[in-house]
Structure 1
Amino acid sequence: MRLWSLHPSVLDRVALVACWREGLLAQRVLTGTTRGYTRHPQLERFRAVDEPLDAIGHYLMSVRAEATARGYRFDASRVLRTDAPAAGIPVTTGQLALELEHLRRKVVVRDPLWLPRLPEIAHASPSLIEVPGGVESWERAAP
């Protein structure tokens, strides 16, 4: 599961679609309607807020907004809290940098034409707030 901290606008097609699908899975985990992935470390940040379903709802709707801007049709009826406010989940600049490099390595192989669209400095998803710091404790990808 990769719930990208990066702004959805920098995700290539594969990453954007995967983020949507994995975000929907995360929503199911947070509602207790699936037995898989219940201990996935990337869910820690959503569980740490007062309203995890609002947080994942806002996150999913920001992914959907980017998909819509690109002409994709992601079904909003699958999101439980479509009008949820931003939860302001903190994400470190070190985490964002790691994810941008992780995405860059993937894009080089699967969609080299997307590579020029990747920024030099990573920016956070609208659901997150950038804070100084290293890689997040929940990250399991090799730096």
Structure 2
Amino acid sequence: MTEIKESLRGLSIQLSLLNHQIGAHVDLKDVDFYCLDLVNRYGPLSPSALSRRAGLHPATMTGILDRLQRGGWVVRDRDPEATDRRAVTVRALRDRNSELFALYAGMNASMDELCADYDDDELRIIADFLRRTTDAGGRATDELVDE
């Protein structure tokens, strides 16, 4: 179990470094890059929902969204379903994603090679473990945010 935890910690560090380098290539601060990833993955989101997911203060989120919008990564649209006419949702602009995909190409190719060494049953177990680890990390993050 210790070896697994140490490996996950090493993976976390290495992925953070990879994301930092990719963000630097497209002129995004780390926190901006992570918020963009959240919008790409879970959006469109309201700024307050994004703020909660990221564990950031709403005022901090405003600055992040301003930078992402200026960079052409996201737009803020009026929420037609909201009762408050000022309500907006944040939506990622997909046309810039090709830049990110190109920067992740090396990692994606390495992952394809790595996964080729496992059969379907083993891949299902690995995917389940990673999903459950991600869920555990989310719960731990939520607990810290709520304090």
What is the TM-score with the length of structure 2 in the denominator?
A: 0.30
**Which protein shows a greater Rg?**
2
More helix by share: 2
What is the TM-score with the length of structure 1 in the denominator?
A: 0.31
